[in-house]
């Protein structure tokens, strides 16, 4: 099968208590796995099966192929935005860009949490680099990917209910607080 579920770079329990082993078991092992299986089924015997995932994300027409490719890409990116050694504040060029756009890291976290909480329905909250060089906050609905808008994704938080319902039920804000405790700033900085 051309598209593969990436292995997590940490054990299932490594993000606990912020994100539980049970959440990762379902989110990675069931939800993400299902997107990959569906993507493989949809592309089987077509030219899409020969293309890199990013190409499918960028070029597939709206519909099931674009949705499953988008979800595969977004989740593969999300797992790398989390780390058992995460949390704290960013440094280097990323920190400079965040200070220019938001003032402080606390301001960034507050604005990110507000945008993510206000996202109606399923979707993703992103920190991106815009073509004008600004670090910005964006949200995308459902499976939509920032690449479609010309933004470079730096960091994402999955705001689908399956990302937090096991651990936090309806309390999105608790999930967002937990996210900042395991956020992988080193990964985000490498995307610049």
Return the ∠ at Cα 165 (arms to 163 and 167), rounded to 5°: 95
Least distance to Fe ion, CB of residue 100, Å: 31
Taking residue 74's Cβ as centre, other Cβ atoms within 10 Å add up to 25
Beta carbons of 127 and 112 less than 8 angstroms apart? yes
Shortest spacing between CB 160 and Fe ion, in angstroms: 4
Residue 156 phi, psi dihedral angles, 5° rounding: -140, 155
User: Which of 187, 21, 183, 1 lies closest to 94, judged by CA?
Assistant: 187
Which of residues 48 and 160 has its CB atom nearest to Fe ion in the complex?
Answer: 160
- Residue at shortest CB range from Fe ion: 158
- CB 158 to Fe ion: min, Å: 4
Using the minimum distance from each CB to Fe ion, give the nearer residue, 98 or 158: 158
Q: Which of residues 162-181 bind Fe ion (CB under 5 A)?
A: 163
Residue number, 56 or 163, with CB nearest to Fe ion: 163
Q: Are 182 and 88 in contact (CB under 8 A)?
A: no
CB closer to Fe ion out of 102 and 124: 124
C-beta of residue 125 within 8 angstroms of C-beta of residue 139: yes
Check residue 77 for interaction with Fe ion (CB under 5 A).
no
Q: Contacts with Fe ion in 146-165 (CB under 5 A)?
A: 158, 160, 163
Task: Using the minimum distance from each CB to Fe ion, give the nearer residue, 144 or 158.
Answer: 158
The CA distance from 65 to 39, in Å, is: 6
Shortest distance, CB of residue 34 to Fe ion, whole angstroms? 10
| Residues making contact with Fe ion (CB under 5 A) | 158, 160, 163
């Amino acid at each position: 099968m051309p598209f593969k579920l990436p292995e997590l770079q940490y054990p299932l329990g490594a993000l606990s208590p912020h994100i539980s082993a049970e959440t990762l078991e379902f989110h990675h092992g069931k939800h993400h796995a299902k997107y990959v299986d569906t993507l493989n089924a949809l592309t089987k015997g077509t030219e899409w099966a020969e293309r890199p995932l990013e190409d499918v994300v960028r070029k597939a027409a709206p519909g099931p192929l674009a949705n499953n490719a988008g979800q595969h890409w977004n989740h593969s990116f999300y797992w790398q935005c989390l780390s058992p050694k995460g949390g704290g504040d960013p440094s280097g060029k990323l920190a400079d860009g965040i200070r220019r756009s938001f003032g402080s890291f606390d301001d960034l976290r507050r604005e990110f949490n507000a945008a993510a909480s206000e996202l109606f329905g399923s979707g993703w909250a992103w920190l991106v680099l815009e073509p004008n060089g600004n670090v910005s906050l964006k949200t995308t609905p459902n499976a939509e990917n920032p690449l479609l808008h010309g933004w470079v994704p730096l960091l994402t938080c999955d705001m689908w209910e399956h990302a937090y319902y096991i651990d936090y039920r309806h309390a999105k804000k608790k999930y967002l607080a937990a996210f900042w405790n395991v956020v992988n700033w080193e990964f985000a900085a490498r995307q610049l």
